[in-house]
Amino acid sequence: MRAKRAIAALAVLPLLAAACGNTSDSASTTPTTEAASQTTTTAAATTDTSGGISPDQVISAVIEAPGGASISVDGDPSDWADIPGVDVTLKPITDEPAVPHDATVKVAHNDEYAYVLFQVQDDRNFNPDNPHLSGAAAIEWAVESGAGEAMGALDADRETSLGLVDIWHWELQCDSGVQAGGAVSGPGNGDGGNDAACNFDDEHATATDQRDDDKTASAENSLLGVWGHSATAEDADGTWSFEIRRPLTTGDEEDATFVPGGSSLMNVAYWDPDRPDGGTDGWDDDYHVVTAMDGWMQVNWGSETGGTDETGALSQSDAPSTTEAAGEPEVGHTIEAPNASITVDGDASDWADIAPLDVVLQPITGEPALPHDAVIKVAHDGTNAYVLFQVSDDLNWNPDNAHLSGAAGVEWQITDGAPEHMGAEDTAREETLGMVDIWHWELDCASGQASGGAVSGSTEASGNDPACNLDDEYAKSTTNREDDDTATAENSLTGVWTHTATAEDGEGTWTFEFGRPMNTGDPQDAQFAVGGSSFMATAYWDPDRPDGGSEGWDDDYHVVSAYDGWIQVNWL
């Protein structure tokens, strides 16, 4: 099978916010957003609940976050020179005795990581024994649609939370130039979001007066940060640089998810221990200046990929290197994927109102297979993505030999520019131009039986489905597919197949129905976002060979949609 996924332009999905009040061990953040000489606008409404901007949310600045970034997280901002930034004025929370500070915010990404550079104009204050006598910083992202900029609340009331926000909260307990965050220290005290060594924590908030370290079963802290200051002497004037990196997707339900081609909402905050009221005990939770007083900053994630850093992001040799890889993918068909209520049970009746795509599956060049008519539909419910793949062919199912049964595959592009034949161009099929995600289904379980890692219990550390053989795979080579078995691997696929015929060799229609979370946190999985686009292809293996062979299909013996190019899926 040949197919893969690339994410094209998406609507705004994560949001960023922090606000006054705190009951956690570390200081709270209430970012306010203001861009110098920016016009404040009210964002357009959306109706989805998994991302987007509500009518009450205000956008005060827009940040372009280019792809293909090559950033070293070391507190030195020199490798950000060519990345555009937004100048903002950090304002105090109402009635708090803090003074405004000028700041600059830059955002970038590559195929694996998001990067943020937050620079603040202020004198140097660092006390390793008391973080409240040191400067402190926070980045806030909206997780749920409609979340207000003040830790989930709107600035106007700051009382009622309208949604979950993700907060990267940094109290400076480690020195300048020292790597901080869970990526290097690991969590402490049983808290997945905690950074026991340097206090750079992954937190969340659903109330305006309470922040908590992420502690759910999916909690993790893969933040990496290094701070620097242009001055070397205490109290000397200069510029703080807070440099931060985090994977685009983490699999943590309390983390924001970032998608190339999409948008997110963010805010920033800074705590200055120098109090204009003369106090000597440094900052407290509410004593900080923020961008959130002006609304949200919208981050647009560029779709360009590539780039590397010292920690193992894509190297330039792995990145797309040809004209096609750098350009637009070849798209032969487009599918609209609406929000719908789907039950994965092999019964296609709940797909009746969803527009179909009719395709003719063509054989791989030189293979003795016949074309087959097929219908494809795609939908989502804001949490899960669903695919219906129906093929016109007779029923062949052998519980003892999957190669004597029909088989199916769905392929999604992961690396931008990867062509539709398992990452290779059709003309050569040899040199891969990127990675693809493959849902590969050999029918070891019977019609109507739920298959996949979500039901077989193989959702962690392996893409394999030992019970029914609906595997989560990937390919970086046109001749080799692998189960997704890296440290971040998981298989949360669910599938049920049926056939309209009841007798072996009876004519009819196969129905292959799939479901999978839109975001899995696995870099070898395609990630889907409401308002965005992905690229897919499908494949079908028919054990009836026109050459008279009785051994059923082999790997190359299948028909595919990829000969028409990619199928572009627009997630409505």
Sign of CA dihedral 530, 535, 540, 541: negative
pLDDT of residue 148: 73
Radius of gyration for the chain, computed over Cα atoms and rounded to the nearest angstrom: 25
Residue type, 194: N
Cβ-based neighbours of 133, under 8 Å, separated by 6 or more: 125, 127, 273, 282
* pLDDT tens sequence across 95-106: 777 889 999 999
Three-state DSSP at 444 gives: coil
Nearest to 488 by CA among 301, 263, 250, 262: 250
For tokens 């920033």, what's the residue?
Answer: 268
Q: Where do the domains of the chain lie?
A: 41-301, 323-571
Nearest to 414 by CA among 556, 535, 570: 535
Give CATH for domain 323-571. Answer: 2.60.40.1190
207 sits in which H/E element = strand 200-207
Q: Please check whether residue 103 is in contact with residue 88, taking contact to mean a CB–CB distance below 8 angstroms.
A: yes
Topology of the domain comprising 41-301: Immunoglobulin-like (2.60.40)
pLDDT of residue 432: 54
Q: Please check whether residue 18 is in contact with residue 270, taking contact to mean a CB–CB distance below 8 angstroms.
A: no
> Which parts of the chain sit beneath pLDDT 50?
1-52, 155-156, 188-190, 305-327, 423-429, 459
Beta-strand pair 296-301/357-363: unpaired
Kindly write down the DSSP assignment for every residue of 200-254, as one continuous string.
EEEEEEEETTEEEE--STT-----EEEEEES--STT---EEEEEEEEES--S-TT
Sign of CA dihedral 453, 457, 463, 469: negative
Is the fold of 41-301 the same as that of 323-571? yes
Q: Please check whether residue 439 is in contact with residue 514, taking contact to mean a CB–CB distance below 8 angstroms.
A: yes
pLDDT of residue 220: 78
Per the document, the length of the chain is 572
Sign of CA dihedral 57, 48, 261, 247: positive
Percent of the chain residues past pLDDT 70, beyond the cut: 74
pLDDT of residue 477: 59
